[in-house]
């Protein structure tokens, strides 16, 4: 039976999150701590939709539907919503769609496979602390291998971020997760992502949508390795050269027959 590679989400609060003017003002109003908790809970329920909260019309208002999801008082939620809207932290994207502006920069996630690796490493540490290991060298090798796998993955994504931000621009949390999925979910080599960034910058198309379009086309064509990308580029250049040669020959033939006769 195939193991589901479900994705888990969480929020990563900046160290100065509670020192921001907005959070200080929120905590100063009556019941401020309650409203702060409501805001954090709203962030959590919006993670899978990248900061979006949808009003399904099942209750009389958005506040009532949120109350059903987070088990908080409706009136407290209404006050929280009013505050967030007044400070630009909550915006209305459509009739039934609301967006928490701070969420994209706080989103963290990992696949189920990465989660299993992390939990395995944690369990190994517990075993080392509480039991006598009969084959200690073997256990150390297993732990090192797992750590190497995680470190290599982290370093690879750091390279992608640095390349993107140096050649394209700022990469936000949502965009990073979408690029990351090409590697973790679709099995694409990191070098392929780097090549897409390079092509985008060299062609003067410095936008995330352009890079995503390249990667999506490659994925759909089964091009997941750098070798496959280079082979495709080689064939493209050969075809272009052939077309250029053929076009030149046609022009030459036309010139012969188009020139006026000497008599």
Please indicate, yes or no, if residue 28 is contained in any of the structural domains: yes
Domain that holds residue 180: 113-121+154-243
Can you give the C-alpha Rg of the chain in angstroms? Answer: 27
Residues 33-48: tens digit of each pLDDT: 999 999 999 998 888 7
One domain, residues 169 and 223:
yes
Domain boundary among 100, 130, 163: 100
- 189 φ, ψ (degrees, to nearest 5): -70, 145
One domain, residues 95 and 163:
no
E-only strand ranges, the chain: 7-11, 52-54, 90-92, 97-100, 107-111
One domain, residues 117 and 228:
yes
Please indicate, yes or no, if residue 149 is contained in any of the structural domains: no
One domain, residues 51 and 81:
yes
DSSP 103: G
20 close to 102: Cβ distance less than 8 angstroms: no
In Å, what is the CA distance from 196 to each residue of 43, 199, 208, 231, 240? 32, 5, 10, 15, 20
3-state secondary structure of 107: strand
One domain, residues 158 and 220:
yes
More confident residue, 126 or 257: 126
| Closest alpha carbon to 83 in 29, 47, 119, 34 | 29
3-state secondary structure of 8: strand
E-only strand ranges, 21-66: 52-54
CA dist 249 and 161 (Å) reads 47
> Is the predicted pLDDT of residue 121 greater than 80, yes or no?
no
Residues 168-223: tens digit of each pLDDT: 988 888 888 898 888 888 888 889 999 999 999 999 988 999 999 999 999 998 88
Residues 62-111: tens digit of each pLDDT: 999 999 999 999 999 999 999 999 999 999 988 899 999 888 877 765 44
3-state secondary structure of 246: helix
**Chain centre to alpha carbon of residue 66:** 26
Q: What is the pLDDT of residue 180?
A: 86
- Number of domains present in the structure of the chain: 2
Q: What is the pLDDT of residue 107?
A: 72
Please indicate, yes or no, if residue 259 is contained in any of the structural domains: no
CA dist 177 and 157 (Å) reads 10
153 close to 118: Cβ distance less than 8 angstroms: no
One domain, residues 23 and 48:
yes
In this prediction the pTM is: 0.43
Q: In this structure, what CATH number is given to the domain that contains residue 59?
A: 1.10.10.10
197 close to 188: Cβ distance less than 8 angstroms: no
């Amino acid at each position: 039976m195939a193991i589901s590679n479900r994705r888990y989400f969480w929020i990563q609060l900046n160290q100065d999150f509670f020192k921001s003017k907005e959070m200080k003002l929120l905590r100063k109003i009556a019941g401020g701590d309650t409203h702060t908790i409501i805001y954090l809970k709203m962030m959590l329920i919006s993670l899978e939709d990248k900061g979006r909260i949808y009003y399904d019309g099942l209750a009389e208002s958005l506040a009532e539907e949120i109350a059903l999801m987070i088990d908080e008082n409706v009136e407290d939620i209404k006050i929280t919503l009013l505050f967030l809207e007044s400070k630009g932290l909550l915006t209305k994207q459509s009739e039934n769609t609301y967006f928490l502006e701070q969420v994209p920069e706080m989103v963290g996630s990992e696949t189920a496979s990465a989660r299993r690796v992390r939990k395995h490493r944690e369990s190994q540490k517990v075993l080392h602390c509480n039991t006598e290991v009969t084959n200690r060298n073997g256990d150390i090798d297993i732990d090192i291998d797992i750590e190497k796998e995680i470190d290599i993955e982290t370093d690879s994504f750091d390279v992608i971020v640095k390349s993107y931000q140096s050649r394209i621009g700022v990469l936000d949390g949502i965009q990073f997760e979408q690029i990351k999925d090409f590697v973790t979910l679709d099995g694409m080599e990191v070098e392929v992502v780097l090549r897409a960034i390079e092509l985008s910058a060299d062609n003067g198309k410095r936008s995330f949508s352009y890079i995503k379009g390249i990667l999506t086309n490659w994925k759909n064509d089964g091009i997941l390795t750098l070798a496959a990308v280079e082979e495709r580029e080689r064939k493209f250049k050969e075809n272009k050269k052939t077309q250029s040669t053929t076009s030149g020959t046609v022009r030459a033939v036309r010139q012969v027959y188009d020139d006026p006769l000497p008599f």
